[in-house]
Amino acid sequence: MFRGAMRAATAAAVTMAGYAGVAQQMTQAQQDRVVKIDQIQVIGSHNSYHSGFAPSERKYLEMKNPKALYSLDYKHAPLPDQLNGGVRQIEIDVFADAKGGRYAHLPIDDAATKAGLPPDPDFDPQHEMEKPGFKVMHVQGVDERSTCHTFVRCLTVVRDWSKQHPQALPIFILVESKEDDGTERPGMIKTEPFTPAVFDALDAEIRSVFKPGEYITPDEVRGKAETLEAAVLAGGWPTLAKARGRVVFLMDQHKHGPVYAEGHPSLKGRILFTNSDPGRPETAFVEQNDGTKEAIDALVKKGYLVRTRTDEGTKQARTNDTTRRDLALSTGAQMISTDYPASEPSEWTGFKVELPDGLVARCNPVNKPAGCVDSLLEPKAMTTAAK
């Protein structure tokens, strides 16, 4: 069934082997025709929209819930600055808000004022939270400050950046669909559940920003294969020649994968690649946020895209514990996510996550084609993001 794909893969391997001896003479265009998007490794940012707490919010949390503040005390530069700094995977948390206004009021600000703290700056001066559509934030009512409050706005700034940098590597966009876990919490704003219809609306928002061809879809990867998983196991990911300047949408929330795939076998007609389990027809992407090297590398060798993390809850950043970071960098995970990319080191210790020699990307250490040259992918970050 996949003889054509196998012949193409064999030819590609032979081509790259031929280039290996004359690597310095090879051009980016030549390499791009061989290297696929699952054969590179990039650095990503976790909760990429997160702009941190205002002064009184921070003080209030310090008084009432210091453990929460400890974990949430990080922030990122605006998305274009991160991309300029070399980040090629971002993560956006979305909350459904069909009518608008559900999250337009920030209860933590009321609590801080009641506690006698001075008012913080308005978290939504443009009143974007009052409009219908998906909202971008971390914890409703508590941690809502974002560099882009709406999903459409976040996507728009990414698309604008991509249009300005058509030769950049594809940007992987993780989307985490957020909703309550069913636990009653006094004062917590109740979320809207994610149903197939709500996911239809999410896809519609993506299509309102990105035109067909500007993003890589499950249909494109699946091609004529029987299932999406069969396609990726047969090497069906597009080459960099077909992927530069585009984006890839991935679902971060594992439990919502079956909901998103309902009525869409092998994600037919959908935009996001779901975070799924090997053996399912729609599986092309698998998260291993704290996975072992053996588990991650095994998945990469089979053809799946994998994302892992190097730090969590500011713990490693406060102590400069590089154990988890070093493990992640030793794997073949295509996306290595952190709260501290090179352009945004930890304020406590200088902890940061970067590839060797300041590279934006490198040939994947586990499945790279023979002769792949790191510097031909994207040699250096274009600028340094604002601290």
Q: Where are the beta strands (DSSP E) in the chain?
A: 40-45, 89-95, 135-136, 171-177, 215-216, 247-251, 285-287, 305-309, 335-338, 361-363
Amino acid in position 195: T
Residue 385 has pLDDT above 80, yes or no: no
Query: What string of DSSP letters covers 280-303?
Result: STT--EEE-TT--HHHHHHHHHHT
Residue 22 has pLDDT above 90, yes or no: no
Average pLDDT of span 94-106: 97
Residue 38 has pLDDT above 70, yes or no: yes
Quote the pLDDT of residue 299.
98
Tell the residue number behind the tokens 């669909």, with chain if given. 177
pTM score above 0.85: yes
Quote the pLDDT of residue 7.
46
Average pLDDT of span 250-262: 96
User: What is the rounded distance in angstroms from the CA atom of residue 378 to the CA atom of residue 364?
Assistant: 13
Per-residue pLDDT of 265-293, as tens digits, reads: 999 999 999 999 999 999 999 999 999 99
DSSP for residue 269? T
CB 150 within 8 A of CB 131: yes
Quote the pLDDT of residue 3.
44
Closest CA to 31 of 371, 380, 382: 371
Tell the residue number behind the tokens 């009512």, with chain if given. 141
CB 163 within 8 A of CB 247: no
Which H helix or E strand runs over 4?
A: helix 3-20
User: What is the rounded distance in angstroms from the CA atom of residue 242 to the CA atom of residue 34?
Assistant: 10
Average pLDDT of span 239-246: 98
Q: Which residue has the higher pLDDT, 375 or 181?
A: 375
Residue 367 has pLDDT above 90, yes or no: yes
